[in-house]
Structure 1
Amino acid sequence: MPFVNYSLLDYLAVIVDILLVWFVIYKLIMVIKGTKAVQLLKGIFVIIIVRLLSGFLGFNTLSWMMEQALTWGFLAIIIIFQPELRRALEQLGRGRFFSRTITQEDEGKEAIVEAIIKATDYMAKRRIGALISVERETGMSDYIETGIPLHSKISSQLLINIFIPNTPLHDGAVIIQKNEIAAAACYLPLSESPFISKELGTRHRAALGISEVTDSITIVVSEETGSISITKNGELHRDLSSEMFKEMLTKELLAVSKQKQTSSPRWNWRGKRNG
């Protein structure tokens, strides 16, 4: 059907069709945003680019290899992206797939920081061991699934109660996601760095390990000494005073978030700061 013969309704149908396709693509990107699947997706784009270039330049063998990779890639995508696909189907079943995914980042941040500071100070004085990880840009859904789901509002009382010794949830990490306690008793990857002090235990190794694979902020309270530590970007900041801890946590969770709001992404050419 020639394009010039389209009626007004046909034009509207085409526009709506295009908008719906883009909306679905956008939602799919939001599902995998911040997960390991993003890096794998970049690898697929590299294969496609190499395939096009090799065909254009006449590299037949390389072109054939890339063609085979793309031919069998659909099956590989299903296997590799299995956690993300499962999560998307679960959200679709709960009616959340087409819900609003972008919320105000700073909404409730002050309450979160205040609750963490109050709970950490209480536990440090009584030498109650704790491990709290706050999700930022990189998704932590894979680690949340290893724990006990809570999806509860954050309060200092709840955080303290979770880490009271000999309670069902005290062993493991609490993960905070989107202004709520997503899960407790979560397993975090242990750092294999040879430079970690021998006197540091499993909590510190787990906190450092999760900071090596995500951009999360993780707080550790030592049950031996009551000292407070923070890990971020593969760095461990040990034995922080109450003032230093409050200043660092506020800077990372509030100041950075506000800076993102006031800075336009198009003109923000600075890389990550290593605090």
Structure 2
Amino acid sequence: MYNLSPKISGLWDRLFQWLGNRSGVELEVIAHAAPAPLSELWARPDMGAVFMCGFPFSRLSPAERPQPLAAPVSLADWANGQPIYASHIVAAQGKSLTEADLATARWGWTVRDSQSGYNAPREFFATLADRPAAAQVAGPLLNPRGVIDAIHSGVIDVGAIDAYAYQLLALHEPEMIAPLRIVATTKPAPFPLLVASRLQSPDIVDALRTVLLGAHQDPEGRDILASLGLAAFAEPDVAAYEQLPARARAIDAALGTW
């Protein structure tokens, strides 16, 4: 989900290798690059520690859900020390768009089961004054890279980029976002969480969870977290994720689908 470049992927590899070593759980880091559907990854019975968007997690019944491990806490100001995130509404640097112009702009979206790339921008659009009955939209653009490419090529005027993905790019690939500017930021939502397959044993899940939640207290763990723009991992608040479907239904009622 956050493998935004080879350099950033290497930092995640380091985290998961450290997690395996500290927990005693043998973890194999596998590639699952776009356009491979994330839903296929989340269905794997051998899943050990994988990021999952909160919206698809919330739509599964408790018996169907993978087992939650931990949720990241970003160092960015928008996180306010909590395991939450948002989406930045971005446009090209040279585009003279203000927040007041967004109602008539051409929007891009990623995939329909994404909180950050689909529900968050629709929720924001629904609050705009004088918005038309239907937005001008393009999608699916799959991921933040697709949104960036669509803005660069002029296919869309604005799109939503996961604020944590934007933070990672600012830290490690600033040239990728240099042509962009943040026009607005959406309401926060629970951060995508690390999950394990529901078929994993309680011992494995407990070992992985314990190491993740204590990562900020370990010298090497703190160094790895800092390289990823994170302060810590926190215990996921499942009840917070369970509010996302109601938010999505309210958006559907106001806008319909894009």
Instruction: Name the TM-score, length of structure 2 as normaliser.
Output: 0.21
Scaled by the length of structure 1, the TM-score of the pair is 0.20
Bigger proportion of residues as helix: 1
Task: Tell which has more relative contact order, 1 or 2 (C-alpha 8 A, sep 6+).
Answer: 2
